[in-house]
Structure 1
Amino acid sequence: MKHIFLFVLAGVLFSSCSKFLEEEPKSFLAPENYYKTANDAFIALTGAYDALGSNSETFIARRLQYITWFASDEALSPTLTAQKPLDEFSYVADNEDVSRVWNNMYAAINATNIVLNRVPAIEMDETLKTQYLAEAKFLRALDYFYGVRLWGDLPLVTIEVTALSQVDIARSPVADVYDLIISDLEYASEHLAPVNQNGRARKGAAKALLAKVYLTRASSVAAQAGDYQKCADLCSEVLAMPQHVLLADYEKAIGSEDEFNQESLFEWQGDRALISSGEHSIFGSFSLPRGMLVIPGQTASDGGGIAAEVQFFNKYPDDDYRKECTFYTSGPDKNGNTVTWQQLAVPYPSPAKKYINKNGATRDISSFSGNFTVLRLADVYLMRAEALNEVSGPTTEAYAMINAIRKRARNRDGVNPSATPADLGGLSKETFRDAVLNERAIELGFEGHRWFDLVRTKRLVQTIKAVHPEYPVTDKHLLFPIPANEIQLNSKIKQNPEW
């Protein structure tokens, strides 16, 4: 963290985003000469959003997925040599991807702290000011929520960094990190608008994220009585909001041509086009099936960097609509012959369908830069089902939640209904818990939840061992190592156990 703030001392870099952030970029402006007007506040908020991911590299744009997708049973990296240690659990404390996520996360936190520290003193419309502060608190909570799940105890930085001595601090306990996250999200839940411009935080997103925070804390060392009930109650509030609807067609719930739909709660914008290179995600282009023609008339894909583990692919029943909405399993090769995924140069199922523009006419990178959906309503249904089961076992309402998700999958595209997956019933508390975890894997596959679900349910080790018994995965992998260079720079930071 310490070295990532070196650039902060030279000034603050703001960059702009299309769709809702249209201001001209302002680079390296001294703080004392800035933060005077409402427009300055807006530009600062722009920087906080942009810090979530930029140039196809930072944080949510790529590296967070690398360390969580590959380190679960969900995905592997057949062609990305540098990422193989993540998949094989041979990574060490100086792993570049782990370090990048740490650094990017704290850069994003600092961007939110600039808003929270500077905007209150600006003379501007108070309602608008409160909205901006609520958005910044939502973003800071999201940043720290990723961090506490990845590393546990964290240095808590809540002020704008202007000197290196400000980040030479020890890690705070998990409980304190959760306290800050919850406080930020309570403020955001109260002050955010129910609707907002595309790509920006809104009330439903804050409540849903707070529900996920309680669900996660409930099985952590910081667990408190009532966490599961608080999760269930917040999920109920989100489900009651008319702005959010479970779409009839699963395929429309996520995808670059269906961005910011009624099921979506919060998305990172992966298709910004202010500059010719950069500002896009890699999820679509990297997970294309290598050697298959995805767009008729175009060259065969050279993707394959992100592929599905075969065992994870097999979790999806063949006649479950969500399988065909997630994976490319067959298609024409460059000679026009139909090939299956087993015949590809990289013989793994491709999960690209969730991220490419299926209506795209070209294979230009921007056609494959779909947003990353951080939260959507189906997740809320399944969180409520899980929380209710933990409180009272598989109640009628808990079944209603999970079966609503399964019913949507049966409806397919509304034209060709299927018998799979059937409604659940007659389960014990333990088997219902298993069913929810499996449902989350299928419903939310490749959306950034699997590793976190396996860790919070204490199933990471047994799940990986069942797929790859030769991998040296142990309980130490329930947390990532603090980056080695961070420990070298900050003597107050101690490493996670066994790293």
Structure 2
Amino acid sequence: MKKDRKNYLKAFILLGAIITLSSCSDTFLSEDPDTFVSPPLLLVNKEGAQTYLNGAYDAVQQSIAPTGGSNPAPWSIYWGTTAADEVVFPNWGGERKLIYLHQVTPTTGAINQAWVKYYESLNRINSVVDRIDAMSPDQIESDLKNQYVAEAKFLRTTLNFALVSSWENVPLLKNEVTSLDDINVTQAAPSEVYDFMVSDLISALPYLPTEQGGGRVTTGAANALLGKIYLQMTGFPLNQTDKFPLAEQALKKVMDSGVYELLPDYATVFDLDNEQSQEMVFSISLDGPALGEGGILGFFFGPQGSVQNGGGWGTCHINHSFADSYDIENDVRMINNIARHNANNTDPETAVTDPASWTVAKNTWRGWKWHAESPNGYANDSPFDYPYIRYADVLLLYAEALNGQNKLTQGVIDNTVNRLRTRAGLTAADMMVLGSQEDNATELLSERRKELCFEGWRRNDLIRFGKYAESISGITQGGPNAGDPITQYEDFEIRWPIPDAQMQLNPNLVQNPGY
């Protein structure tokens, strides 16, 4: 069942993109797209605040999640998956192909689109934080106001995390920008952006509810994201290893909350019926078709064949080394995450368990984590929610936090990694055994790839573990794809270039080294 929050997303905030010099008037778009109401007229009671807050959720949906045509640069696809080692791209992959090959430049349109979209969304969320926080007690009770501001701070953190991960050296906008006079800002040090994100989450925690949330921000979501950010701070570019204990503490709170648990069957985690299950710590709502909130999960990562027959257009194929990392005979994640069949010739419901249907050549295997029903009319408008943080992710992050302190034990491994492997159908011989700190890290990184593929975290994981250059330079697949980044990648490409269009608009921006 879809979340109540989706009923609000038909009405959302429309704030101009400050970077593109478009209008900066503050307006609210109601269900009638031709009717505009200014925020001061809207923010007079808790109902107006609720509607305004849903604009912040919409901003995250339209920037971070793998949405359709309304999002020209979904962060989870562009950053987290395309330029990692889960997929490869064919020659007809457009600018995604350039991202995969590490051929982007300051003039690459997709990179500029991403910058504009993320900052436009960030400004919308800043408006929510600032304006709801300024509401008076006679307009909204303080507890509810504090909760709404806390939710918006979490959502703001998802945008800041995307920005600092992608470009590293970015302007830190802490408040709503309402004037073109305010766009010539300088870049902040990455540490300043990370410290601001930590501060936002810590200040939000006391005011958030403790339940699963059903698509809304909760204490568990904030602690999980806090732990993830602390761990990212232990790697490049900050290398702040003192954050391992803080990550451990935040993640342990999620595990001890009693709110979350693994579902017994891996495949059902990604069913439409389980989008807000107890395994979902925070999931970004998407809905479709023809509701204006659809995504591309289920057919961007979908088997060969038409959308109507449960397939997808798939502008990417599976990286061979990723497929080979699975125990093909036993790991149910292999047959659930990778499509070796053609949807036009096979019933999607039986393709998982029918080896006779696995007739597609390895070079053109595609993803299949979100199984689309057949027939369907999803096209670029899929109803699958995007799982931003799952409980499985929390378990693996917790093991990583302990390993970073050289405190990992076999008991913790059994309760985290081996729980996931057991669910995946692996045998006792396949369980992780405690080893050296380096060997443990290798196992954890590999497990994250197999468990969390296509969920948008692989590039951050590789960077944090110090394995990005090795992994990207090791892609030698060949075949019917656009080539391999091994001949293209240089160390400075661990981050994206500042778009040339933005540097022309803001002379205070400094280009990232190497570009």
Aligned pairs for 1:315-330 within 5 A:
315-318=325-328, 319-330=330-341
* 8 Å contact kept, 1:89–1:471: no
1:18-58 per-position Cα deviation (integer Å, ceiling 9, x unaligned):
xxxxxx77854334444222222112111111112347245
1:366 Cα deviation after fit: 7.8
Q: Aligned residue pairs: how many?
A: 475
The corresponding residue for 1:406 is 421
Taking structure 1 as reference, are residues 27 and 448 closer, same or farther at Cα in structure 2, changes over 3 Å only? farther
Higher mean C-alpha deviation, range 442-451 or range 147-156:
147-156
1:454-480 per-position Cα deviation (integer Å, ceiling 9, x unaligned):
112221111111123743111111111
> Which whole-Å CA distance do the structure 2 matches of 1:491 and 1:99 have between them?
16
> Which whole-Å CA distance do the structure 2 matches of 1:448 and 1:213 have between them?
15
1:329 Cα deviation after fit: 1.5
1:97 Cα deviation after fit: 2.0
1:170 equivalent to 2:186? Answer yes
1:371-390 per-position Cα deviation (integer Å, ceiling 9, x unaligned):
11100101111011111011
3-state SS of paired residue (1:284): coil
* 8 Å contact kept, 2:342–2:360: no
> Which whole-Å CA distance do the structure 2 matches of 1:369 and 1:421 have between them?
38
The corresponding residue for 1:245 is 261
The corresponding residue for 2:166 is 150
Equivalent of 2:462, from 436, 448, 454? Answer: 454
* 8 Å contact kept, 1:52–1:59: no
The corresponding residue for 1:314 is 324
1:342-393 per-position Cα deviation (integer Å, ceiling 9, x unaligned):
349xx422212x22344x5524438843111100101111011111011025
Aligned pairs for 1:87-486 within 5 A:
87-122=100-135, 123-195=139-211, 197-224=213-240, 226-271=242-287, 276=290, 278-291=292-305, 299=309, 301=311, 303-318=313-328, 319-331=330-342, 333-334=344-345, 340=358, 342-343=360-361, 347-352=363-368, 354-358=369-373, 361-365=375-379, 368-400=382-414, 401-410=416-425, 418-419=426-427, 422-468=430-476, 470-486=486-502
Higher mean C-alpha deviation, range 192-201 or range 233-242:
192-201
Equivalent of 1:72, from 74, 84, 90? Answer: 84
Taking structure 1 as reference, are residues 102 and 209 closer, same or farther at Cα in structure 2, changes over 3 Å only? same
> Which whole-Å CA distance do the structure 2 matches of 1:221 and 1:392 have between them?
21
3-state SS of paired residue (2:273): helix
Taking structure 1 as reference, are residues 26 and 49 closer, same or farther at Cα in structure 2, changes over 3 Å only? farther
> Which whole-Å CA distance do the structure 1 matches of 2:221 and 2:34 have between them?
29
- Residue 294 of structure 2 aligns with an amino acid whose one-letter code is H
3-state SS of paired residue (2:85): coil
3-state SS of paired residue (1:266): strand
Higher mean C-alpha deviation, range 135-144 or range 98-107:
98-107
1:281 Cα deviation after fit: 0.7
For structure 2, the residue ranges without an aligned partner over 5 or more in a row are: 1-15, 477-483
- Residue 378 of structure 1 aligns with an amino acid whose one-letter code is A
3-state SS of paired residue (2:174): coil
Provide the aligned C-alpha RMSD in A: 2.7
* 8 Å contact kept, 1:194–1:202: yes
1:300 Cα deviation after fit: 7.7
Taking structure 1 as reference, are residues 187 and 472 closer, same or farther at Cα in structure 2, changes over 3 Å only? same
1:252 Cα deviation after fit: 2.0
Taking structure 1 as reference, are residues 75 and 369 closer, same or farther at Cα in structure 2, changes over 3 Å only? farther
Q: TM-score, structure 2 length as denominator?
A: 0.85
3-state SS of paired residue (1:406): helix
> Which whole-Å CA distance do the structure 1 matches of 2:314 and 2:466 have between them?
30
3-state SS of paired residue (2:430): coil
1:182 Cα deviation after fit: 0.4
1:263-294 per-position Cα deviation (integer Å, ceiling 9, x unaligned):
00111112156xx3642111222222223x78
> Which whole-Å CA distance do the structure 1 matches of 2:108 and 2:201 have between them?
31
* 8 Å contact kept, 1:308–1:349: yes
* 8 Å contact kept, 1:403–1:423: yes
| Identity %, equivalent residues | 28
> Which whole-Å CA distance do the structure 1 matches of 2:429 and 2:338 have between them?
18
- Residue 141 of structure 1 aligns with an amino acid whose one-letter code is T
- Residue 142 of structure 1 aligns with an amino acid whose one-letter code is T
For structure 1, the residue ranges without an aligned partner over 5 or more in a row are: 17-23, 411-417
Q: TM-score, structure 1 length as denominator?
A: 0.88
1:208-237 per-position Cα deviation (integer Å, ceiling 9, x unaligned):
000001000012343445300111111111
1:39-81 per-position Cα deviation (integer Å, ceiling 9, x unaligned):
2211211111111234724569835412431211111232422
* 8 Å contact kept, 1:244–1:262: yes
* 8 Å contact kept, 1:264–1:377: yes
